[in-house]
Structure 1
Amino acid sequence: MPTDGAAAHDPIDIVLDAAALLYANGQSTGMTLTAVDRLNRGLNSAITLIPTWPSLQLTGPGDAIRVAAISPTGVSMRRVATAMKVIDRAQDGPLDRDTVQRGLATAQGEPASNTFLFSGACATGAGALAVIFGAHDPVTVLVIAVSAALGGLTRRGLGRLGAGILTQAFMAALIAGLLGVVANDLRIDGAVGLVVLCPAMVLVPGPHILNGALDLLAIRVSLGIARLGYAAMILAAIGAGLILGLAVGGLDLSVAQSGATVPLYVDVMAAGIAAGSYPVFFSMPYRMIVWPVGMGMLAHAAHWLALTVGHAGIATAALVSCLVAGVLLVPISHYLRIPFAAIGFASVVALVPGVYVFRMLSGLVQFAQLPTSQLLNSLASDGAVAALVIAAMATGLALPMHAFAVATANRAARV
C-alpha cells in the first residue's frame, strides 16, 4: 500500500488502508463494508470492497484495483474505535484526505494492552469464571488465577518471539493442564476440573465465532465458514494442550465436571468481574469497560433466572440472555465505535460451554484408543450440548446485529 507521494492521496489507497485496519482488528465484515460506504461519501469516490479470508480486494473507477493480503485474525478494539471516529466524520460532510490518513496512522499505532495488565486480566477473568462455575475454596481460585496469569505471560512472550496464535493457545492450555495435575496431587478440594477449565476459557476465540455467525447470516458463506474454521483450530489447539498437560499425571478431561449452582448475587458480581477482564484481552479503551461489565451482569442475571426460576434448559437460557445482551449492545457498540463481536463476547463469556467442548475433544482421543458404547454416548451428549449452546449464543447475539444492519441498509437505500 502506498505511504508517500501523490499515490498516497488516491482515495482507493486511503479506503484500502482503512478497510485493512478494521478487518485485521476484529471489526465485523458488515461494519467494514459500511465504513467503506461512508468513506466513499466523504472522499467523493466510488470504491467497492470484496472481502475474503486471505485478502481484501478493492475496485475503483476505471481499471483501479488494490489488494491487501490480510486475514481477520486479530482483535484490537482500541484501534477500531480510533479509526471509526475518523471514518464517521464522513457523515458530516467531505473529508480532508490528509486528515483521514493521519487519523488512520494514529489508529494503527494504538498499542495493545500492557503485558502485566493483560496477565492480571487473565487471572481475574479465570478466577471470576471459577466462582461462577461453583468454586468455593479460595485456594482453588488462587491456583486458577495463577495458572491463567502464567498462561497470559506465556502468550505475550511467545507473541514477541513471533509465535502464532495456535502455538500461544496450545502452550497456555498446556500450562493449565500441568497445574491441574499439580492440584490433583496436592488434593486441593474439587480443583482439578476448574483449574483445567477456567484458564482455558480465557483462550476461547469468541469474537471470531460471532463474526463468523454474522457472516453466515449475511450469506457470506465462504468467509463465515473460514472464520469458524479458524476458531475451531484454536479450540483444537487448546484441547490438545489440556490433554497433553493432564496426560503427564495420567488424568483426562473427564474430571472437568460442571460446578455447583451459585446464588444470584454471587453469579452477577462474578460475571461483572469476568466481563471487565475480557475487554483488556481485546485492547478496549479503559474508559469504555463499564459497558461490558454492566451488560455482563444483566445477561447473567437473565441467565440465572431462566435456569432457576423459569426451569429452562441450558441452551434456552443462553439464547434468552444473549438476546438481552445483543439487543442492548448493538446501539452501544455503534455509539462507542467498537467491534460488536468483541464487546458481545466479553459480556456473555461465562455462558460458553467450554467444559463440554474440551471434554468432547478428550473423549475423541480416548475413543480412538478404546472405543466403547458408553464413551460414544458421552461424546454425543457433550457434542450436542456444546453445539446447541454455542448456536443459541451466536443466534442471540448475532440476530440483533443482523437486524440492525438490514434496517440500516434499507434506510440508506431509501435516501
Structure 2
Amino acid sequence: MLGLLDRTAQLTNLKRDTPYPEPLACDGALEMTALAATLLFAHGQTTERTVAAAERLARVLGMAVKVLPYWGELIVKVDGAPVSHMVPAKPLGVDMGRVLAVTRVIDQICHGELPAGAARSALESAGRLPPASTPRFTLFAAIGAASLGMIFGTLDAASLLLIAASAAIGALVRRCLSGFSHDPLIQPLCAALIAGVVAATASRFQLTGTTTTLVAFCPCMVLVPGPHILNGAIDLARTRIALGLARLTYAGVIVLLICAGGLFGFTAAGGNLAIAGPSPPVPLIIDAIAAGCAVASFGTFFSMPWRLLAFPIAVGMLAHMARWALISLAGGSAPSGALVACILASVLTTPVVDRLHLPFAAVAFCAVVSLMPGFFLFNTATGLVELVSIGPAAPPALLTSIVANSTTAFLIIMAMTFGLILPRMLYEHFWPSAA
C-alpha cells in the first residue's frame, strides 16, 4: 500500500513538472496547431513563416513543438515526447485573404483576445473565406493580360481587346472548372488552350508575327505560378531540399502545361508557328501604369483585400521604372534590369509583409509579375516545335534563336529569384525579431 502511494506521488510530481498539458488538452492543442499550420501552408505562406506561426501558437497553448513540413503532409511533433500529429497538406494554392485571416486568429489567441474554445471554429472559418468574386476575377484577368500586352509593345486597341477577351474567357473557364474538379493542372491547361485558339484565329486578320505571339502568350502569362517558384527557391536556400524541389517541380509542370496548351490550341486552330521578333520599347509612363494594372490583377488572383492593393501597386510601378531606366537609358540587358527591379521590390516589400502578416512570395511576385520572361519561354517552345517539324534540315538560325531565347529566359528567372530572395533572407538574418 505504501509503495502504491509512493508511486502515485511520483506520478503526480512528474505531471506537475512536465511542460506539456494533460493528454486530452495535448491532443486538442496539437490538432489546433496542425490546423493553423495546414491553412497557412496550403494557401501560399512561406514555409519559414508557417513554421514560426504554428510553433508560436503551440507555445501559447502550453507546449513546445516542432513543425516538419513536407510535400503532401505536415507533422507537428511535441518536443521531448513521443507524441505527434500528422495531417495531409499540399501547398497548391495562393490565397492572401485566408493567410491574413488565419494569422489574425493566431494573433488573437496569442494575445488572449480569443478563448481557446472558440479558436478552432475561428480558424476553420478563416480557412473557408471565399476567393475573389467571379466578375472581379474575370475583369482583372482581362486587365492584367492587356497590361502585359502594353508592356511588351502592343498599343493598338484591336490587339489589346483580343488579349483581354481571351484572358477573360480563360478566367471564366477556370472558375467553371474549379466547381467540377480540384485538379490544379486542368485549369491552366484549358485557359492556355483557349489563348492559343484565339491567337490562331486572330492571325488570319493580317496581324504581325510579334502581335500574334503577344495575343497568344499574354493571356498565358497570367497563369504563371510565380509564388510557387519563389517559395520553392526559398526552401532550397534554407536547405529544405525535398520540399523546395517538389515546389519547383509543381511550378515547372504548370509552366509546361501552359506552353503545351497554348501551342496545341494555336496549331489546332490552323495558326502558323513562327518565332516572334523583339518587342518595341514603350514610353515610361505607359510602362509604369501598365505594370501597376498587372500588379492589381495578380493581387486579385491571390485574393488580396482591396485595402492592401495600393502598396504592391506602388512597389511594382517603382520597380518597373527602375528597370526601364536601366535598359532604356543605361543600355542594360533584360536580366540585369530584372535583377535591379526585383532587389528594389524585395527591399520595399520585406518589412511590410511581415508587419501585415502577408505571404512574401505572393506579394513580391505581384510586384514584379510583368518581368517574367513569358515572351522568351513562348518563343523557345515555338522554336522547339518548329525544329521537330523541320527535322535535320533546320537552319542554324533556328537553333541559335532557341538557345538565345531559352538562355535569356533562364537568366531572367534566376535574376528575379536571386533579387527577390537575397534581401528577404538578409532581413531575416539581421533582424530576426522583426521578421
TM-score (norm 1): 0.93
Root mean square deviation of aligned Cα: 2.0
Query: Which residue among 382, 400, 403 is the counterpart of 1:377?
Result: 400
Residue 336 of structure 1 pairs with residue 356 of structure 2? yes
Structure 2 unpaired stretches of 5+: 1-23
Is 1:152 the counterpart of 2:203 in the alignment? Answer: no
Q: Could you tell me which residue of structure 2 aligns to residue 392 of structure 1?
A: 415
CA offset digits 1:269-307 (Å, max 9, x no partner): 111111111111011111111111111111101110111
AA at the equivalent of 2:138 = S
Greater Cα shift, 16-25 or 250-259: 250-259
Asked which structure has the greater CA Rg, the reply is 2
CA displacement, residues 360-394 of structure 1 (integer Å, 9 cap, x when unaligned): 22333333342434333222211110110001001
Is 1:28 the counterpart of 2:46? The answer is: yes
**Which stretch shifts more, 91-100 or 329-338?**
91-100
Aligned to 2:19: none
Paired AA for residue 62 in structure 2: N
The answer for the alignment partner of 1:71 in structure 2 is: 90
**Contact 2:30-2:58 at 8 Å conserved across structures:** no
Q: 1:309 aligns with which of 324, 329, 333?
A: 329
- Secondary structure (helix, strand or coil) at the match of 1:69 reads strand
Matched, 1:50 2:68: yes
1:406 aligns with 2:429: yes
Q: CA deviation at 1:253?
A: 5.1
For 2:25 and 2:380, how far apart are their aligned partners in 1? 53
The answer to whether 1:299 aligns with 2:319 is yes
Once the two structures are superposed, what CA deviation does each residue of 1:329-374 show, in whole Å capped at 9, x if it has no partner? 0111112211111111111111000011122223333333424343
Secondary structure of the residue aligned to 1:341 is helix
Distance 2:327 2:300 in 1: 29
Q: After superposing the two structures, state which structure 1 stretch, 60-69 or 182-191, moved more.
A: 182-191
Q: Deviations over 1:113-154 (max 9, x none)?
A: 111211111000001111111112111101100000000001
Report the secondary structure of 2:307's partner residue. helix
Correspondent of 1:284 among 304, 307, 319:
304
SS at match of 2:67: strand
Q: Letter of the aligned partner of 1:407 in structure 2?
A: F
The one of 192, 197, 201 equivalent to 2:217 is 197
Written as runs of structure 1 = structure 2, the 5 A alignment for 1:344-355 is: 344-355=364-375
Report the counterpart of residue 262 of structure 2 in structure 1.
242
Shift of residue 308, structure 1, vs aligned partner: 1.1
Aligned to 1:259: 279
Residue 200 of structure 2 aligns with which residue? 181
Retained in 1: the 8 A contact 2:259–2:381?
yes
Amino acid of the structure 2 residue aligned with 1:23? F
Is the alpha carbon distance of 1:96 and 1:252 closer, same or farther for their aligned partners in structure 2, counting shifts above 3 Å? farther
Name which of structure 1's ranges 214-223 and 359-368 shifts more when overlaid on structure 2: 359-368
- Return 115-124 or 98-107, whichever deviates more: 98-107
Moved more, 16-25 or 48-57: 48-57
State the Cα distance separating 1:225 from its structure 2 match: 1.0
Is the aligned partner of 1:327 residue 2:347?
Answer: yes
1:122 aligns with 2:141: yes
Contact 2:42 2:90 in 1 (8 A): yes
Deviates more, 1:227-236 or 1:93-102: 93-102
Partner residue of 1:161 out of 155, 180, 187: 180
Equivalence for 1:270: 290
Larger mean CA deviation between 381-390 and 103-112 belongs to 103-112
* Distance (Å, rounded) in 1 between the aligned partners of 2:25 and 2:107: 23
In 1, are the aligned partners of 2:188 and 2:258 still within 8 Å (CA)? Answer: yes
Counterpart check, 1:216 vs 2:236: yes
What is aligned with 2:382?
362
Say whether the 8 Å CA contact 2:109–2:116 is kept in structure 1: no
Contact 1:42/1:93, CA 8 A, preserved across alignment? no
2:103 aligned partner, one-letter code = M
Write the distance in 2 (CA, Å) between the matches of 1:47 and 1:178. Answer: 52
Aligned residue number for residue 115 of structure 2: 96
What CA distance in whole angstroms lies between the structure 2 residues aligned with 1:82 and 1:352?
29
Distance 2:276 2:184 in 1: 24
Count of aligned residue pairs for this structure pair: 407
Tell me, in whole angstroms, the C-alpha distance in 2 between the residues paired with 1:165 and 1:362. 25
Amino acid aligned to 2:193: L
Q: Which moved more, 1:336-345 or 1:91-100?
A: 91-100
Q: Report the CA distance shift for 1:208/1:10 in structure 2 as closer, same or farther (over 3 A).
A: same
Q: Which of 124, 129, 142 is residue 105 of structure 1 equivalent to?
A: 124
Q: CA deviation at 1:250?
A: 4.2
Stretch moving more, 16-25 or 332-341: 332-341
Residues 94-103 or 153-162, more deviating: 94-103
Contact 1:196 1:256 in 2 (8 A): no
- What is the CA-CA distance between 1:86 and the residue it aligns to? 2.1
Secondary structure of 2:271 counterpart:
coil
- For the 8 Å contact 1:268–1:301, the answer to whether it is kept is yes
Aligned partner letter, 2:54: V
CA shift at 1:89, angstroms? 4.3
User: Could you say which residue in structure 2 is the equivalent of 1:132?
Assistant: 151
CA offset at residue 176 of structure 1?
0.6
Per-residue CA shift, 1:81-111, capped at 9, x if unaligned? 0111122346646973224323312211211
The residue that corresponds to 1:227 in the other structure is: 247
What TM-score, normalized to structure 2? Answer: 0.89
Q: How far apart are residue 9 of structure 1 and its match?
A: 6.6
Report the Cα offset of residue 167 of structure 1: 1.2
One-letter amino acid matched to 2:284: L
Structure 1 residue 48, shift from structure 2 partner: 0.6
Per mean C-alpha deviation after superposition, the further-off stretch among 6-15 and 227-236 is 6-15
Q: CA deviation at 1:163?
A: 5.0
Identify if the C-alpha distance between structure 1 residues 403 and 40 changes in structure 2 by more than 3 Å, giving closer, same or farther.
farther
CA distance in 2, matches of 1:404, 1:253: 46
Counterpart of 1:48, as a letter, is K
Identify unmatched segments of 5+ residues in structure 1.
1-5
